[in-house]
Structures are given as structure tokens and as C-alpha cells.
Amino acid sequence: MTLTPKRIVLLCLGLLVLGIAAAAGFSGWRSYVIAAQERRAYETTMRLLDESRPVEALTVIRTVKSATPDYDAGKWLPLEIRALEQSRNIHRLLYLYGQYPLEVLKQEKASALISRSLLEMKNMEVFSQVRDAWRDRAKSPEVWFALDVDALLMQGKVDEASAMLTSRTFEGAADCGRLIRLAILKSSEDMDEAWKLLEEAFRADPRNPDVRSFRAQVLEHAGATARARVEYVAAHLSDPRNPLLRDQLAEFHRRHGNYTLALKTWIDGLSPTSLDFLWIKALFWAKVTHPAEIPEDRATPPPGEWTPLIQAMQGMDPGEFWDSTKLRGDVNLEKHAESRQEVYWLKLLQALKDGSEARAMDLLKARPYRYASFHPELERALQIILVYRRWGVLVDPAPGTSRPAASRRPEHQFFETLDSMTMKKEGSAGQGEIPQELDTLLRSEEVFSAAFLAGGWLEAALSLHRLPVIPEAFPDWVAYGLTQALRYNRGNREALDFAVKQPRTPELDLLIAEVMLADNQMGNAVPRLRSLARQDSAVGFRAAWLLSLASLKEGDFQESRRIVQEYKALSSSVTGQEILARIALNEGDTEDADRTYARIAGASLEAKAYLARRAFARKDWKTARKYTEDLLEYFPDMMELHENIRRIAQEEKRGRP
């Protein structure tokens, strides 16, 4: 057949039609496959959420969102909100509320979680919007009741909150939140009644983390610090994804001066989806107490209102505390940043570093956080110092007002001395009456470093440190404290380089020897320790203890035992007995070790740990449980101990008739 021009055109048209049909068929098939995949993914996500596996559910949702051209946000958004609520991803929930408020407000648990966060952030305007949306349709009225009470307390309306708490009750576990809040209010006037209410709340809902949290607060208020720590840790472990419970635990550590644990608790909770104020806290306390790096997989802050401030803090140079130009010239942001106490302290530190004492005094006079200061004793001391440096007199910075409430940290001798001098009768305090060493320190350029050193803010103290050699006229604790700060924050070598240049004191000599031991300089440390061990003092006791430990580490068990037995104060102490038990173990005499540890088990954690292991090995479950539970009182966050208790319980159950 001859292909005429007309036939060629018809053939081409036919092929074109077939091509279009084939393409349409492929497209239809592809759409069918995508729809089927999406349907299966939806069913999988629903199943994962029903099984409380939100992280896996979010992974499926993200995969569908990136792979589906016609992603139906209206269909998937409720599942994402539910997954975020289960995973406590409050930051993302807040973002979605800003984008799709009506969708978020369809889910009560997510709305309540957002409300709690808004209340913690003191964003009362948006909190009220979310709260009002659930006023007449809440299925969990007890949750919103607790939020309403907390809102009143946050606004200082204690009487209204108290009246509300006694106005109604809820059934069973639902009454738990009301009871624990009533207990907190009662704790200021009747601790016994408060504790009874907390016990009632615990019986109503033993698994509620808020019960442990409020028990912790009551115990802390009563001064039972060790028991309070157990409750704070228990609350956090019962809901580890809850950033607010994590923050409560970190703040407890901070209030008691354990900045290392506080910082670790905050940093462990950082992620690109965590609450932004946790980032501000972590960055600030790393800047003023101990340097700490945020792991690379968590180094990106979440997008939000505080992101520019977080980025500015991350961008500060070493030794620099504050530079407003790094806020990108955003006047509104700088004004907004004033609401953060961290910014107040950073500006104060920068003023002191710059030598601008007038600017520092202006900041201290304003004292915008006087009722919730990170360190009221330090603020008070700085005011006293600045006035003395300008006018030459020691005066109370706030006459006629009460001094800061007693800190939960042991007060440093520097603060005690300043307080004792400013509490004298009017006219009796003055330059001629204060100790010469205090006057010398107050007038020196090292005084601000010393103040932050006394406050435990070691990195701030090192950044303000000026003098390579501390004068002999200074109090002994200044050189000693700076050596310790360098040891913790810079390492053994830098601490030794500084310490050996300072005027000698027995305490500093002992610290030098201790740092040498830590740096594996036995040959240099031992002669110092032998000389110090001759002293009949606390320094001599510790020197003898370190000598015996050094010999034990070197494997010279006979010499280690001789040293302990030679120093009677050491041999009769718990620490000395611990060394003797270790020597017995190294010599293979387990019976002697057993007897020695048993004698000191009531006062030695080392003995408890040893005896717990021995009892476990002997299948003496009663004794193993006793000592393990004793250790849990001191180390409630050690998961190994919890696992040991679980295994002991299993073995006890197996052994029952």
C-alpha cells in the first residue's frame, strides 16, 4: 500500500489519539495507585494513634504530605493534631493553632495542652481565646477547672482561686487536680492538712504526674529537699515527653545550686520542636555557669517568637554576654526581650565586663525581677559593692524592706560578711570598720568576678576575671574558688597553671595536689599530700584520705592500709572504712569486705550498693530490695536501680509457694 500524503496524515492522527488514550490510562492508573496508598496510610496512621505510637504516626503523615501531589490537609490535619497531642509536641501545636485555629479547637486534649503552655508563657490573651472556646462543650470539665484555678493564681487572685477550689468536687480520678491545688494553697498555713489532701489526690489517681509534682513542691517548701527531689524526678519520669515537667525538675536543680544537673536536664529536652523558652534557659545557664554544647542533631532552634533571640544568644562571641545589634536592629524584638530575666542578667554582666558601673547600677536599681530573681543574694551583693566603690560606705541597698528570703543554696561567706556589715546600726558601718581584706577586695577590679564566684556562676566569674595573681591581701577563698572554677570549666592544666602562681595556703596546696592526682601527676602530688597529712585539721584528714586512695589506685594495698590505720581520725571514719573494704576486695578477702561494709551500711552509699549486689547474687531478695530502695532515695533517676527493683520483684514472685 502506497502511503499518500493523506494516508500519512490520517496515520499520524491515529497514533496521536492512541498516545493520548494511553497517557490518560496511565494517569488514571497512577491516580488509583496513589489513592489506594493514601487510604492504606490513613488506616495505618489511625491504628498507630489508637496504639499510642505518635512518633511513627507523624512519620507516616510527613511521608504522605511529601509524596502526595493532592495532599488533603483537611483530611490529615485532625490526625496530625492528635499525634502532636500524644507526643506533647506543643511547639508544633501552637503553630497549627495559629494557622488553623478552628481545626485545633475541635480537639479537646490538644486545646487543653495548648492552654497549659500559653498559661506557662503568660500569654493570657490567647489563653482566654482557647479557654472560651471550650466553656460550654468540655467533656473533661475537671481539666479546664484546673486551668481556670491556675490562671487566677498566676494573676495573684488567691482568694478567688481558693473559693473556686471549694465550690465543687469531681468523681474519682477527676478530682485529683482540684485536690492538689487546694493542697498547695493550704501548705502555707497548715502543712499537715496540705499533705492529707495530697495523699487523697494520690489515692484518687496514683499515676497522675501532677500529684508527684505538687508533692515535690510541698516537700520543697517544707525544707525536705531530698524527698522533694525524688518526687520531681518521679513526676518527670512518669511523663518524660512533657516539657513542663522537665522544666520543673531543671528549675528545682537550679534553685538548689546544682547548675550542672539543671543544664543537662534542659539540654536533654531540646529538639527542633521543643518549647523555645527551654532553649533560652539552656543557652543562658551554659553562658554563666558551665559551658555545654548542644548536640548537632538538636542544634537548630524551633521557629517561633523567640527564635531571633535564641539565634542572637547563639551568635554571641566567647566572653561576650550581650550585643543588642545582634537582634538585627528590631526595636520591637529588643523590647519584647526585656520580658526575659535572662536578658536582664546578660545586660548586667556585659555592663560589668565593659567597666560601666553606672549602667550596671541603673539595671540593679530597676530590679524588674526582684520577687523572682535567679539569685537575690547576688543582686544584693552587687548593689552593695557598687555603692561602696562609688561612695566608700557599706549600706543596705533597700533600707526599710525585708532582705531576700533565705535561699535554698547554702549562703557563701562573702554574702554573709556583706550582710553582717550592712545590718549594723546606722552610722556604725564604714571603711575604717570593715576588715582590711574585704576593703581591698571591694576596691579591686577582681571584685565582680569574686561576687559571681560566690554565687556559683563559674563561667560568668571566669569571664570577669582580671588579675593573673590574686593579692595576698584578698580573702583566701578567692584564689581557691577561681582554681576550682578553672578546673571544672577549663580543665586540670589551666587550673594548675593558675594555682601555682598564687599565694600559698594549706587549702590551696591541698587542691593543687588533688588536681595533680586527677591529672595523673602522682610524683608531684604525693610529697605535697604527705606534708599536709601531718596537720591535725580537716586539710590533714583529706590529705591522708587522698594518699591512701592514691596508693590503692597504684596497687600498693599494704601502704594504703598503713596510711588509713596511721591516721586515727581517718580509720574511725566512714570514708576510711570504705577504703579498708576496697583493700579487702582487692586482696580477695570478701568476708572481711562484707563485715566492713555491713558496719557502715547505715551511713555509706558505697556500702549499700555493694551489699545490694551481694544480696542479689545470693538470691537474698529481701536484703537486695532493702538496699536498692535505699539507693533509689538518693538516685531516683537511675534507671538501672528501677530495673533491679523490677527484676527483684520478678524473682520474689517466682519464689512464692
Q: pLDDT (tens digit, 9 = 90+) per residue, 196-237?
A: 888 888 888 877 888 888 888 878 877 888 888 888 988 898
Q: What's the rounded Cα separation, in Å, for the pair 150 and 455?
A: 32
Q: What's the rounded Cα separation, in Å, for the pair 325 and 627?
A: 57
Per-residue confidence (pLDDT) for residue 565, from 0 to 100: 93
Which residue bears the cell 594548675? Answer: 496
pLDDT at 24 over 50: no
Residue 99 phi, psi (nearest 5)? -90, -40
pLDDT at 95 over 50: yes
Could you tell me if 543 and 535 are in contact, meaning their C-beta atoms sit under 8 angstroms apart?
Answer: yes
pLDDT at 428 over 50: no
> How does pLDDT run across 458-512, given as a tens digit for each residue?
999 999 999 999 999 999 999 999 999 999 999 999 999 999 999 999 999 999 9
Q: Classify residue 573 as exposed, middle or buried by CB count within 10 Å of its CB (0-12, 13-18, 19+).
A: middle
Q: Where in the chain is the domain with CATH 1.25.40.10?
A: 170-256
Q: Classify residue 650 as exposed, middle or buried by CB count within 10 Å of its CB (0-12, 13-18, 19+).
A: exposed
Per-residue confidence (pLDDT) for residue 227, from 0 to 100: 83
> How does pLDDT run across 277-292, given as a tens digit for each residue?
889 999 999 999 999 8
Closest CA to 379 of 411, 330, 345: 345
Per-residue confidence (pLDDT) for residue 657, from 0 to 100: 39
Per-residue confidence (pLDDT) for residue 18, from 0 to 100: 45
Q: What is the mean pLDDT of residues 631-649?
A: 85
pLDDT at 260 over 70: yes
Which residue bears the cell 576596691? Answer: 443
Residue 404 contacts by C-beta under 8 Å, 6 or more apart in sequence? Answer: 373, 376, 377, 379, 380
Per-residue confidence (pLDDT) for residue 70, from 0 to 100: 65
Q: Quote the percentage of the chain above a pLDDT of 90.
A: 49
Could you tell me if 301 and 311 are in contact, meaning their C-beta atoms sit under 8 angstroms apart?
Answer: yes
pLDDT at 637 over 80: no
> How does pLDDT run across 300-356, given as a tens digit for each residue?
887 777 888 888 888 888 889 998 887 766 767 777 778 889 999 999 999 999 999
Per DSSP, 371 falls in state T
Which residue bears the cell 587522698? Answer: 546
Q: What is the mean pLDDT of residues 379-388?
A: 95
Q: What is the mean pLDDT of residues 143-168?
A: 91
pLDDT at 33 over 60: no
Which residue bears the cell 511523663? Answer: 239
Per-residue confidence (pLDDT) for residue 88, from 0 to 100: 76
Per-residue confidence (pLDDT) for residue 306, from 0 to 100: 80
pLDDT at 68 over 80: no
Per-residue confidence (pLDDT) for residue 285, from 0 to 100: 97
Per DSSP, 573 falls in state S
Per-residue confidence (pLDDT) for residue 21, from 0 to 100: 45
Per DSSP, 306 falls in state T
Residue 410 contacts by C-beta under 8 Å, 6 or more apart in sequence? Answer: 257
Could you tell me if 107 and 85 are in contact, meaning their C-beta atoms sit under 8 angstroms apart?
Answer: yes
- CATH no. of 170-256: 1.25.40.10
Q: How far does Cα 219 stand from its chain's mean position?
A: 19
Q: Classify residue 366 as exposed, middle or buried by CB count within 10 Å of its CB (0-12, 13-18, 19+).
A: exposed
Q: What's the rounded Cα separation, in Å, for the pair 236 and 230?
A: 10
Could you tell me if 59 and 41 are in contact, meaning their C-beta atoms sit under 8 angstroms apart?
Answer: no
- Largest Cα span, the chain: 127
Q: What is the mean pLDDT of residues 60-74?
A: 73
Average pLDDT value for the chain: 86
